[in-house]
Amino acid sequence: MTTQEWKFTAKDIALKPDMFLPGHRACAGCGPATVLRLVMKATRGPTIVTEATGCMEVASSIYPYTSWAVPWLHTAFETAAANASGIEAALKILKKKGKVKQDHVDVIAFAGDGGTYDIGIQALSGAVERGHDFLFVLYDNEGYMNTGIQRSGGTPLGAATTTTPAGTVTPGKLQHKKPITDIMIAHDMEYVATASPYYWKDLLQKVRKGLEVEGPAFLHIFAPCPRGWRSDPAKTIEYAKLAVESCVFPLYEVVKGKYELSTPSKLIALAPQKKKPVMEYLKGQGRYRHLFTPQNKHILDEIQHWTDERWAKLQKKAEQAV
């Protein structure tokens, strides 16, 4: 991986042509849409994209329209990483046979929760283990949003979804969010990172770093969904900021096993008084509304506790790396 940091300004990025085009059918204020737009702004040359079934796939490829200015393939829900494996293998061998013009083609696989945490995890794990050269980008909106807001392995504790409704007996999802980033870190790949669209510069740099890895790289990008979270569409990017500020979704990189906090989270580690209570992040979201009652207060406490514990663990890992 090159140590040269990519230098750019907001103007540079604003002028870079969009590879994820307007006219897609995502909801107004869609977090994943901004994430995909930004990720595609960080491409560095010829790129092929493959995507799992999900919101972004459906919204961007309603026949006969396509929102993709790059070659793009969708096959099924489970298969983003398997597709990337096939594309990468084909490019490799066809290049050897003199049938590929480009010196190098980056392969990016996009998937949402379903295509990463759950139905897609097998293909992802296999592709990473085999060492294919591709970047896997998880746009995490914490639920199977495209099919109607059902719970996924990435849905956090207490969140109401259509398959974990806030009922009289069970108050939303009873399990914590699967630690997908930890799982991917345990695969020992060269680069794993988390990103949030509010921190666009950090996100772009991480995409570029992931692309530069000769081998698999994994990006976990936070992508609020106003429809599924029952939140104000205008506040999508604000929630992407609050999640980081409350340490619900800390930003960090793991480069060859070494943990490093990214600046927004590092600042909180250095000045813990800047850490916001999770309540501030949760309170505007309709999916958590039922937690703000006396009988469910213990869940709010558990969310805060879990957040604090994981934040403490992460800080320790980052300290040990220095």
Q: Looking only at residues 61 through 120 of this chain, which bind another protein when binding is defined by CB under 8 A?
A: 61-76, 78-79, 81-87, 89-94, 96-97, 99, 101-102, 105
Residue 112: which of 138, 136, 134, 135 has the closest Cα?
Answer: 138
> What does the per-residue mask of binding to another protein show for 41-60, with x meaning CB under 8 A?
-----xxx-x------xx-x
User: Which residue's CB is nearer to another protein, number 88 or number 113?
Assistant: 88
- Residue 283 is a binding residue for another protein (CB under 8 A): no
Closest separation in Å from C-beta 38 to another protein: 7
User: Which residue's CB is nearer to another protein, number 75 or number 150?
Assistant: 75
CA distance 8 to 11: 8
Residues 193-252 binding another protein (CB under 8 A) are 197, 200, 226, 232-238
Closest separation in Å from C-beta 280 to another protein: 16
Selected binder of another protein within 123, 135, 193, 211 (CB under 8 A)? 123
Q: Over the range 39-55, which residues count as b (16 or more CB within 10 Å of their CB) and which as e?
A: bbbbbeeebbbbbbbbb
- Residue 150 is a binding residue for another protein (CB under 8 A): no
Q: Could you tell me which stretch among 19-27, 176-184, 243-251, 294-302 binds another protein (CB under 8 A)?
A: 19-27
How far from 13 is each of 82, 183, 201, 204, CA to CA, in Å?
31, 32, 9, 9
> First vs last Cα of the chain: how many Å apart?
20
- Residue 183 is a binding residue for another protein (CB under 8 A): no
DSSP SS3 for 219: strand
